Copies of this chain bind each other. A is one copy, B any other.
Amino acid sequence: MNRRGKASAAPIDERGFHRWVASHLPAGRTGALPIGDDAAALRPPRGSVAVLTTDALIEGTHFAAGSPPRSIGAAAAGVSLSDAASKGARPAGILIALLLPPGTSRHWAESVLRGAEAAGARFDAHVVGGDTKPAPVRAVISTVVGWGTAGSLAPRSGARPGDLLVTTGSVGRGGSAWRRWRTHRGGRRDLLALLDVRPRVREGLALAPLVHAMIDTSDGIADSAHLLARASRVRLLLDPDRIPWDRSIAALPRAAREEAGFFGGDYELLAAVPSSALRRAVRAVGSVGGRLHVVGRAERGTGAYLSGPSGLRPLPSAGWSPFQRAMKRHQNRAAPSQGR
């Protein structure tokens, strides 16, 4: 993984990266290749399928300048862990590619790695390799490889009419953090909350064999419902009275609650489960310390809607995201500098 361009002002080159990983992180060695070699090697459990997902977090778009680097690393790994979890894969290894502008401290880079390692280690997945390159913008690109069972992976596309729609947790945690951050103009606690990704790995493993379809709610439950409906060619109806709104937004007026609730950044799981398997699903999630909420159902048709006494309201359409613009505006005003 050594490339040209390394002899720049970047604070930690790729060799430094691998030396640091080898000496500071457990790195989940398999013996097949030593850490710091040109590639990482991981041994799949017998009969398993490799599940792979990659995500890029860019400064100014996905995290604000001045965000604590350990939290950025944890968030980067967490976003990919959440994707793997939503398919029912057991995460095994994490690769981290760092883009580092000149002047970035070595401490910043190492803290990102420590954060990614800590996020994965909770699930026995370790940082096993990566890359680091000088670049004009800070970015963290995480790749997670996990192991699944071919017959038990949960696609987006399997929901059927009659299925119940379930979710693992509170709706609007991400939007609530964003509301506070916008109000307080970038306090450290709010920066941390925005990066507080809690991937539902154990819940995903418990649910995958029981559900017809699953997705994470990284872009919010509304967005995910649209994706699930489209991929599965069904209509999804969510009951707003059964949605487990985050308690920080539950008392807001409806429009504000839904704006925050559907904002994104929740990283819960949304799944379509046959009603015959609901009790087992509730028990399976409970057995790993989680909780499952029935929030709606699948019908014949298309689209995703909120159901109510006065009929159907379309769920806000996918892709709404003022986050990037809001953050840029903020940074131009006052760039916090702690943690760098």
Contact = CB atoms under 8 A, between A and B. Distances in A.
A40 B52 contact: yes
A52 B133 CA distance: 18
Given A55-B97, A137-B136, A6 B87 contact: no
A256 interface: no
Given A38-B215, A52-B93, A129-B53, A7 B134 contact: no
Contacts of A172: none
A44 to B, nearest CB: 5
Nearest to A327: B5
A196 interface: no
A1 B49 contact: no
Given A48-B44, A148-B41, A62 B3 contact: yes
Q: How large is the interface on A (under 10, 10 to 19, 20 to 34, 35 or more residues)?
A: 35 or more
Given A3-B218, A4-B323, A87-B39, A153 B33 contact: yes
A119 interface: no
Given A87-B41, A321-B6, A135 B139 contact: yes
A135 B62 CA distance: 10
A265 B7 CA distance: 14
B148 A56 contact: no
A52 to B, nearest CB: 5
Contacts of A145: 50, 52, 145
A41 B95 contact: no
Interface stretch (A78-86, A159-167, A301-309): A78-86
Contact of A56 (B2, B32, B36, B133): B133
A76 to B, nearest CB: 11
